[in-house]
């Protein structure tokens, strides 16, 4: 997945992280509603802003490195009752360790470590929207418009198992 960025969905002022499939003919976009602090953490890392003292995600990267662990990849795994889930796949001296995570925290770590982001195909089938043609050329507003249409048409019953 390609991290397009973090946008604010109006009028609710809700941050949305936008992920897009790449290397596909018709990429889909996976929008995930996230919290404000996490949106700020992702945006700051994408912009290369280094805080004077490590913030939580910076600290976690430092701790991982001190323990000899590296973040191999992030996998957005599923959505249940409007809540997204993710996994951190860490490489350690003892082997691979998988840790459950919120997608926003996983993405914030991914940006800081350049670890790739993946999404389960079943999740994309369930929650992603097809990227409009113009969005493939970098028009994030078109992606947000598509997501707004998606939100207008969705109901809680759509996520029932």
87, 73 in Cβ contact below 8 A?
no
pLDDT in tens, the chain (161 residues): 999 999 988 778 889 999 999 888 889 999 999 999 999 999 999 999 988 898 999 999 999 999 999 999 999 999 999 899 999 999 999 999 999 999 999 999 999 999 999 999 999 999 999 877 654 455 566 666 666 665 566 555 554 44
Distance CA 86, CA 88 (A): 7
Instruction: Identify the bridge partners of residue 14 per DSSP, sorted by sequence position.
Output: 9
The pTM for the full model equals 0.81
Tokens standing for 21?
């499939």
DSSP codes joined into one string, 41-91 = HHHHHHTT---SS--HHHHHHHHHHHTT-EEEEEEEEEEETTEEEEEEEEE
Q: In the prediction, which pLDDT does 24 show?
A: 82
Provide the sign of the torsion angle of the four alpha carbons 96, 97, 98, 99, taken in this order. Answer: negative
Q: What is the pLDDT of residue 123?
A: 97
Q: What is the pLDDT of residue 152?
A: 60
pLDDT for residue 147:
61
Which residues are within 8 A (CB) of 44 and not within 5 positions of it... i.e. 6 or more apart?
A: 51
Looking at residue 12, what is its pLDDT?
Answer: 80
Query: Hey, is 97 helix, strand or coil?
Result: strand
User: CATH number of the domain that 59 lies in?
Assistant: 3.10.690.10
Domain that residue 56 falls in: 2-159
The predicted structure's pLDDT at residue 161: 46
Domain count, the chain: 1
Give the span between the Cα atoms of 5 and 68, in whole angstroms: 29
**How would you class 37 by CB atoms within 10 Å of its CB: exposed for 0-12, middle for 13-18, buried for 19 or more?**
middle
- pLDDT for the residue 11: 79
Confidence (pLDDT) at 140: 60
Say what the pLDDT of residue 153 is.
Answer: 60
């Amino acid at each position: 997945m390609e991290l397009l960025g973090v946008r604010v969905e109006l009028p609710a002022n809700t941050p949305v992280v936008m992920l897009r499939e790449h290397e596909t003919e018709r990429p889909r976009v996976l929008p995930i509603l996230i919290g404000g602090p996490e949106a700020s953490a992702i945006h700051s890392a994408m912009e290369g802003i280094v805080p004077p003292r490590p913030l939580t995600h910076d600290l976690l990267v430092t701790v991982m490195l001190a323990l000899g662990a590296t973040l191999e990849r992030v996998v957005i795994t599923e959505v249940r009752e409007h809540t997204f889930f993710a996994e951190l796949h860490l490489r350690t001296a003892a082997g691979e360790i998988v840790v459950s995570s919120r997608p926003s925290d996983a993405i914030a770590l991914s940006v800081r470590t350049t670890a790739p982001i993946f999404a389960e195909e079943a999740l994309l089938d369930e929650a992603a929207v097809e990227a409009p043609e113009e969005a493939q050329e970098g028009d994030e507003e078109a992606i947000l418009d598509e997501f707004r249409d998606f939100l207008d048409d969705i109901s809680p019953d759509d996520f029932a198992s």
